[in-house]
Structure 1
Amino acid sequence: MAGVMDSVNQRTQLVGQNRLELLLFRLAGNQLYGINVFKVKEVLQCPRLTMLPKLPPVVRGVAHIRGGTLPILDLNRATGGPGLDDISGAFVIITEYNNQVQGFLVRSVERIVNLNWSEIHPPPRGTGREHYLTAVTRVDDQMVEIIDVEKILAEVVPVTESISAGVVNEQVQARAVSRRVLIVDDSMIARKQITRCLQEVGVEVIALNDGRQALNWLQAKAAEGVKLSEYLLMMISDIEMPEMDGYTLTAEVRNDPRLSGLHVLLHTSLSGVFNQAMVKKVGADDFLAKFKPDELAKRVIDLLDGNVGVERA
């Protein structure tokens, strides 16, 4: 297994080419699941788990790994199935999402596959556990389901979705009237979180599910003669999305003269491996790690106030 993960940190050349690599794994049955390698820090055999009082049922315990204590979530139980019954031969996938590190307990880990985002599709209606999926693909004629990890984490450790007092005032809300923001994210929970935040600011929200859908929508508006840089205050886009990723979407926007003036904020859970150089290469105006409602609101307020072009760490 160490050999499978040896080159994870050398795979950033895929970024910006509308490509990704999936680590394939299985839970209780034979269904294949996938997780973006960029989210994976390490894969190891399940270590000894320590139970603590008042842990959610999804958390099978905590593990002491490399000097830190990590919660280990049973991914089968988290998606509505029974907990894995025998974890002696199970594996833990250590991941980083939204600046948080946790382990996902899985029955087995298979291999890494290299795919194009155009081969990743929204889940068809009727797919098992549909509400826990962001996308599906096929590998060697087998269906691979990609789980909405942000939804799982939001259920286990809910994040604050409200903006702190004082960030938004009546003057801000008055300036926000009739202003529109396009958000693009394949995660249902992420779309809801962002929408609630922006509605508190006072802007109108248009929410789409993936980069291809967003580009088609933008180009259709432009074909109608709409000047997108005036019609929209900004576009807030996820990076990992089926059909077309956020990097490619941004590059396509910048390459289309009708869209090129649109302000683009890349909003990502790729906190540990976020490639700031790539953000600049594709022409995004800004980026922000998920999910920080105060910071997201301030980005929108900056645009409402005309405070753009400020370098941020």
Structure 2
Amino acid sequence: MTDFSGAAFYGLVARLDELIATRPGGADGFSPSARVRTHQNGGYRSAFRGRGMEFDEVRAYQPGDDIRTIDWRVTARTGRTHTKLFQEERERPVLILLDARTFMRFGTRDTFKSVLAAKAAAVLTWVSMEGGDRVGGAVVMPSGIVSHRPQRSRGRILGFVKAMAEATQNGFGAPPPRLEPTLAEAIGRLRQGSRPGTLVFLVSDFHDFDAAAARELNRLSLQCQVTNVFVFDALEAATPRGGHYPVSDGEAISSLNADSAAVRAAYAQRFAARRDAVEALSRQRGMAFIPLQTGDDPAILLHPERMQRTRSGVRGAA
């Protein structure tokens, strides 16, 4: 069994102590779209409006509305009948999908994508735990998919984080398996374990985002509030300025001609098409889209507004 504790493996694999160190201070849960109330353990305001415990807004009365909810003050002031809307209190678990497959084991800045993804997933896990939420999800490795039921127990959550670290080490240094789990399979597995209103984070490079994955993601978005964390490396987005570079998939070796403008354009377009496909579906289905580049601090996920900047060859966060 390989000992990954040495400094030589920094950035290549994630260690449990590194993932524990990502735990942010002062976090008390998530507040996406101002629909989450994190000061009571597990207390969330669902997207389903009805007669609940907390007032939400006033709108014009519509036939079928409960007359007991009429706001008489607003009605008297405007001359039109208005009714109150409330948010129902519902518990909402958090599910996190961590992609640590072979394609994620690449990076030119600080860490592999797989390590950055593990740290990002750990940050999301700790924030969920501090909010009193049940948190779990799925870890996708070259050897398969391991699911973790949402739990509040600190011991079980630590076990989930430990599985994230181990996923980045799974099969490390060995030839990649002939068949790895697909993104579509992973999303489908996560969807089976979710229920309406679940808060979901997908942390992946979406390298095999195909029609099947898009269908599964669309189905997931119909019942869950989804955030897609798009992990990438700058060298994926654009080639070096010039020269000939050897390229290998671990078996075959080829050459990348970065002197050719056509090659550079095609290279950049391939990445842009993948990113655009994920971002476009996110926008269409009301999902959040957050790009995360190797070299970034994973804690920036908690402050996506700080990512509004232009990167070399890549647009800023939407």
Structure 2-normalised TM-score?
A: 0.28
Specify which structure has the higher proportion of helix. 2
Structure 1-normalised TM-score?
A: 0.29
Specify which structure has the higher proportion of strand. 1
Of structures 1 and 2, the larger Rg is shown by 2
